[in-house]
Amino acid sequence: MEQNELYPIFLKVTQLNVLIVGGGNVGLEKLTFLLKSSPNAKVTVVAPDFHSELVELAKKHAVELIDDVYNVSYIEGKHMVIATTDNIDVNVEVYKDCKNRHILVNVADNPPYCDFYMGGIVTKGNIKIAISTNGKSPTLAKRLRQFFEEVIPENIDELAQNLNSFRKTIKGDFEDKVNTLNDLTKGIIGKK
């Protein structure tokens, strides 16, 4: 059986410089996804043309729009790049330029040219769950996201905040604290 070997991390994109190459439908989708999860992300979008909804979204956030075709100078100082053009040659050029500079890159809808995938994300306050299908089925990730959004209660964030406050009052070493919190939270998923 094939195994998903991706390592999930949560990036502080408010502290990273992100570039999206392409201003069409896919660029809009990736920007929307990024800003839904991280509304204060530092994003630049470069494209010769922009979808009108992308322009409106950029105005509501701190997104810089550059009206130009891609050239390598635009990836300088970037930590993460997402290529979304409908020109495979441009997307591969972006990929190669990023790889040569050790910049994380994602070429939309082209898994061999990706260092990372943008999976489904469920957010309830401080609780965030990322869903990956290893690039196999974005539709399945979307359906799983919808399922978890429905079954996770809205007040889960209140529980997380209360547990954080309680955690600070627990005495003992690390193992004692873990055991206490495990005992306290085991009823959340109905397991012992």
- Domain extents in the chain: 17-118, 119-152, 156-188
Superfamily name with CATH number, domain 17-118? NAD(P)-binding Rossmann-like Domain (3.40.50.720)
Using alpha carbons, list the distances in angstroms from residue 159 to 21, 127, 130, 152, 180: 40, 10, 19, 12, 15
Closest CA to 43 of 184, 57, 172: 57
pTM for the full predicted model: 0.83
| Residue with the two structure tokens 């994109």 | 13
Contact 132, 121 (CB under 8 A): no
Those residues with Cβ within 8 angstroms of residue 160's Cβ, 6 or more apart along the chain or in another chain: 125, 126, 127
Residue 126: C-alpha distances to residues 29, 37, 81, 83, 177 (Å): 24, 11, 26, 29, 21
**Look-up: residue for tokens 């079954």?**
151
pLDDT < 50: residue spans in the chain: 191-192
| Residue 23, pLDDT score | 98
> For residue 36, what pLDDT is reported?
92
Residue 59: CB atoms within 10 Å: 9
pLDDT for the residue numbered 192: 44
pLDDT number for residue 189: 61
